[in-house]
Amino acid sequence: MSRDTIHSCSRCGFRSGQWHGQCPACGEWNTLVEEARPRASGERARGRTGSTKHAGGRARPAPRPLREIGAAAAQRLSTGIGELDRVLGGGLVPGSLVLLGGSPGIGKSTLTNMALGHLARAGGRTLYVSGEESAEQVRLRAERLGPGALAVPILAETDLETVLEALAAEAPQACVIDSVQTLGAAELAGAPGSVGQVREVAAQIMELAKARAIAVILVGHVTKDGALAGPRVLEHLVDCVLQFEGERERPYRELRALKNRFGSTNEAGLFEMRQGGLVEVLDASARFVAEATRAPGSAVLAAMEGSRPLLVEVQALVAPSELEQPRRVVSGLDRNRLALVLAILHRHGRVATGGADVFVNVVGGVRVDEPGCDLAVALAVASASRAVPLSGTPRACFGELGLTGELRWVGHPERRLREAAKHGCREVIAPPGSGPGACEAQTLAQALALALPARAGRPHAVA
């Protein structure tokens, strides 16, 4: 074992000079990981502003009131991609670390190539570090992204020391490292991508990025469950965590901020994958509403993606099941939320689906994570179960369902109503207090009566 490394428990923090299968402190198995030994205090930077000296000559920072701290507004770097800038909070902040995760083939490299290409075309200094692909492979992808992408300098390297030297020498304003799991520190014995390696790589990159004011985008792998791979400390180290979602078989991609120290985590960006790269979808509502089938099992949801309203189609299919335990298959929604809505629909809407397979899908590959989708799911399932389309002119809906069958208020109803009216949905079933222009319903039963008046009073079950 190298004298420059130490083994630390990822659970309790216990440190040991040698590896143990079981942590002597907390008793957990296989939690000790190799990492770089902490540097002595004399090796750290000294002489910070506002510090004092004490015994031993080491600098000690003096606490100061927050009112005495000058806070200058950060000059952000625009990536030239409006949806990406909006999710970031206005652009890249110099000296910040952004972790971008997503499934393989979803378009992470395409998005980062396009961002660096726009910056290079605007005269910014950029650098692309590729640890997974050769420079020739990256060029083949960049050829379809425009001339700006071909002007980005590239370094195909997996050695951390070499990458740090290149960053210090080139001093780019923005850098992409694709991916952080491929870099390895020579002083650690673990393979690249291990817990100790990822933690040490991220820490050294962060130290250099903060010192040189370099905006760094770290591309990260994800697990089979969709969570970011690597130690949890990686998400704590970075300033912003972005998740790129979507289905590879479908053109739409969604970018969400899971953490953002310089902006809101409520924003989301929508893209469409085309031959020439990712294209921003500025008016997705018009496309989704135009493609809505209006058939039994179809409902238009007025959802909120951050601060932006979005109309999406929710489709449901209810069919007799041949299984002892009927299937509940959902795409674009939380499966547990569907189970909750089905229980409320059975108890308070007299629509029984206990013996049926229920399939619910948000059309277009979009994912909706808000309680306002409950009513749309309930109406779509009831419409599919009764084989009757929603009545009236093109209508939309939104609202949260309570366990006692009441329809509950959700945020930003005025924006949802304006978006629905803008795209021809003049009848919107909404909770009480949503404002003028809404067909308000107090309970789920009233909402079903408005949407399915011909069958609203008849109980129905699928055998």
Give me the DSSP letters along 143-186. TTS-HHHHTS-EEE--BHHHHHHHHHHH--SEEEEE-GGG-B-T
Q: Does residue 184 sit within a domain?
A: yes
One domain for residues 140 and 9 = no
CATH number where 253 lies: 3.40.50.300
Indicate if 124 and 180 belong to the same structural domain: yes
Residues 327 and 422 in one domain: yes
Domain of 371 in residue numbering reads as 285-461
What number is the average pLDDT over the span 50-78?
Answer: 73
pLDDT at 51 over 70: no
Summarize pLDDT for 52-61 with one digit per residue, the tens: 455 455 678 8
Nearest alpha-carbon partner for 141 in 159, 161, 117 = 117
Domain with residue 10: its CATH number is: 2.20.28
Is 103 inside a domain boundary?
A: yes
Instruction: Check if the beta carbon of residue 35 is closer than 8 Å to that of residue 5.
Output: yes
Residues 109 and 248 in one domain: yes
Separation CA 110–CA 149 (nearest Å) = 10
Whole-structure pTM value? 0.75
**pLDDT, tens digit (0-9, with 9 covering 90-100), for 284-343:** 888 888 888 889 999 999 999 877 899 999 999 999 998 889 999 999 899 999 999 999
Domain end, chosen from 229, 254, 281, is at 281
Burial of residue 25, with CB atoms counted within 10 A of its CB: 0-12 exposed, 13-18 middle, 19 or more buried: middle
Q: Tell me how many domains the chain contains.
A: 3
pLDDT above 50: residue 4: yes
Question: Are residue 226 and residue 248 in the same domain, yes or no?
Answer: yes
Do 262 and 301 share a domain, yes or no? no
CA atoms within 13 A on the CB side of 4: 7
Q: What is the mean pLDDT of residues 145-174?
A: 94
Distance between CA atoms of 222 and 103, rounded to whole angstroms? 6
DSSP string, 24-72: TTT--BS-EEEEEPPPPGGGS----TTEEE-TTS-EEEPP--GGGS--P
Q: Is 62 within the bounds of a domain?
A: no
Q: Which of 421, 419, 401, 383 is nearest to 293 (CA)?
A: 383
pLDDT, tens digit (0-9, with 9 covering 90-100), for 364-409:
778 888 899 999 999 999 999 999 998 766 689 999 999 999 999 9
Report how far residue 392's alpha carbon sits from residue 202's, in angstroms, rounded to the nearest whole number. 56
pLDDT for 122 beyond 60: yes
With beta carbons less than 8 A apart as the criterion, state whether 363 and 315 touch.
yes
Q: How far apart are CA 224 and CA 245, in angstroms?
A: 13
Indicate if 28 and 115 belong to the same structural domain.
Answer: no
255 with 301, same domain: the answer is no
Residues 290 and 275 in one domain: no
The pLDDT of residue 230 is 63
Does residue 70 lie in a domain region? Answer: no
- Does residue 41 have a pLDDT over 70? no
Residue indicated by tokens 């370094």? 155
Comparing 7-21, 233-247, 357-371, the range with the smallest average pLDDT is 7-21
Beta strands in 291-388 (DSSP E): 298-305, 308-320, 328-331, 351-352, 356-362
Is 145 domain-assigned? yes
For residue 59, is it within any domain? no
Pairing of strands 240-246, 252-260: antiparallel
Contact partners, residue 334, CB within 8 Å, separation at least 6:
369
Q: What is the pLDDT of residues 165-215, one digit of tens each?
A: 999 999 999 999 998 999 998 887 777 887 778 888 999 999 999 999 999
Domain boundary among 256, 281, 306: 281
Helices 108-121 & 135-142 angle (0-180, nearest 10): 80
Query: Do 250 and 343 belong to one domain?
Result: no
What's the rounded Cα separation, in Å, for the pair 155 and 116? 14
Same domain, 208 and 118: yes
